[in-house]
């Protein structure tokens, strides 16, 4: 019978924690990049110019219908050829940020579409400029509608980040591989990692549900 042995935790928890830290950094920066790009793509997809609309739609389709691993390779092997030599962690952040901008774009678009024409007209009738309408009416409504799906995208972002170890980034999965190599206990190590990610996901879902309840509006 196989004896489960979790003693490695006491020895290697520092290393694992470092991995969590790096995952955290990657995820936060990717989130910011992904959100900004997502907004730009969403605006592009709703644009009146046919060409811009077409390009943005294509970019979103492309990012969603091709594997993230290939996108990661693309930046990892491709950027140096363009003369851009960066730390693998930065490469991971770029790739992840760009990848997550596609689902974000879709979510933000659905948020923007939730703001019906009547609101724009009413705001104009009250004397607001289009810019003011955007700030005081469109954004508050869109972001509230988009919040829950955006957190869902965030969770996916974190889960996808686990692949970064393959381009030598020592985030959580990378640390896990090292610990496995030292302890020869892959089952226990990966089980702990799995539980760790699950715990994180539940935490995010819980917080997100709480926030969503407080900010949600009936349209």
Partner 1 sequence: MYDKYMQLTWNDAIQFLRGIGVTLSITLISLIIGTIIGAILGLVRCSKNKVVSSLPLILIEPLRNSPLVVQLFLIFYGLPMVTRIILEPYPAAIITLSLNTAAFFAVLVHSSIKAVPEMQWQAGYALGHDLKSTFIYIIFRQSLRILVPQAITLYISQLQCSSLVALIGLMDLTKTGELITLRTMKPFTVLGIVFLLYYFISTPLAKLAQKLEKRVGFSY
Partner 2 sequence: MAMIEVKNITKSFGDLTVLKNFSVDFTQEGVTVLIGPSGTGKSTLLRCINGLEKIDDGDIIVDGLSVKEKKNLKHIRLACGMVFQQTVLFPHLNVMDNMILSPVKLLGMDKKDAQEKARYYLNKVGLSNKEKSMHNELSGGEQQRVAIARALILNPKALLLDEITSALDPEMSREVLFILENLAKEGVCMLVVTHEMSFARHVASRILFLDKGTLVCDEPKDRFFSVVRQENERISKFLQFIGE
* Cα(135)–Cα(172) distance, integer angstroms: 39
73 to 92, contacts with partner 1 by CB under 8 A?
A: 73-74, 77-78, 81
164 touches 70 (CB < 8 A): no
Interface pick for partner 1 out of 32, 182, 186, 211 (rule CB under 8 A)? 186
108 touches 38 (CB < 8 A): yes
* From the list partner 1, partner 2, none, partner contacted by residue 190 (C-beta under 5 to 8 A by kind): partner 1
* Cα(123)–Cα(115) distance, integer angstroms: 12
Nearer to partner 2, 83 or 127 (CB): 127
The count of residues interacting with partner 2 (CB under 8 A) is 19
Query: How far apart, in Å, do the first and last CA atoms of the chain sit?
Result: 59
Residue 213 binds partner 2 (CB under 8 A): no
* Cα(104)–Cα(36) distance, integer angstroms: 9
138 to 157, contacts with partner 1 by CB under 8 A?
A: 155
* From the list partner 2, partner 1, none, partner contacted by residue 162 (C-beta under 5 to 8 A by kind): partner 1
Residue 118 binds partner 2 (CB under 8 A): yes
Residue 136 binds partner 2 (CB under 8 A): yes
DSSP type of residue 3: P
| Nearest partner of 138 among 154, 162, 157, 114, judged by Cα | 114
Residue 78 DSSP SS3: helix
Q: Which positions lie near partner 1, rule CB under 8 A?
A: 2, 61-62, 64-70, 73-74, 77-78, 81, 155, 159-163, 166, 173, 176, 180, 185-191, 193-195, 197-198, 201-202
Q: Which positions lie near partner 2, rule CB under 8 A?
A: 118-119, 121-122, 124-129, 132, 136-137, 140-141, 144, 217-219
């Amino acid at each position: 019978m196989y004896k489960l042995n979790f003693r490695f935790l006491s020895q290697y928890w520092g290393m694992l924690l470092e991995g969590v830290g790096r995952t955290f950094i990657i995820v936060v920066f990717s989130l910011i990049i992904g959100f900004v790009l997502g907004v730009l793509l969403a605006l592009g997809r709703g644009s009146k110019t046919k060409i811009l609309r077409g390009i943005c739609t294509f970019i979103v389709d492309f990012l969603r219908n091709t594997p993230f691993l290939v996108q990661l390779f693309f930046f990892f092997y491709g950027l140096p050829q363009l003369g851009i030599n960066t730390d693998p962690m930065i490469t991971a952040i770029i790739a992840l940020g760009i990848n997550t901008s596609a689902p974000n774009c879709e979510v933000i678009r659905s948020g923007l579409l939730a703001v019906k024409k009547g609101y724009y007209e009413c705001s104009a009738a009250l004397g607001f400029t289009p810019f003011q309408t955007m700030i005081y009416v469109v954004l508050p409504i869109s972001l509230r509608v988009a919040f829950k799906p955006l957190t869902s995208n965030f969770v996916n972002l974190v889960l996808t980040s686990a692949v970064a170890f393959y381009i030598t980034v020592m985030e959580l999965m990378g640390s896990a591989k090292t610990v496995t190599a030292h302890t020869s206990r892959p089952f226990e190590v990966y089980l702990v990692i799995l539980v760790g990610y699950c715990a994180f996901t539940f935490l995010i879902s819980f917080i997100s549900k709480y926030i969503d309840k407080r900010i949600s509006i009936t349209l």
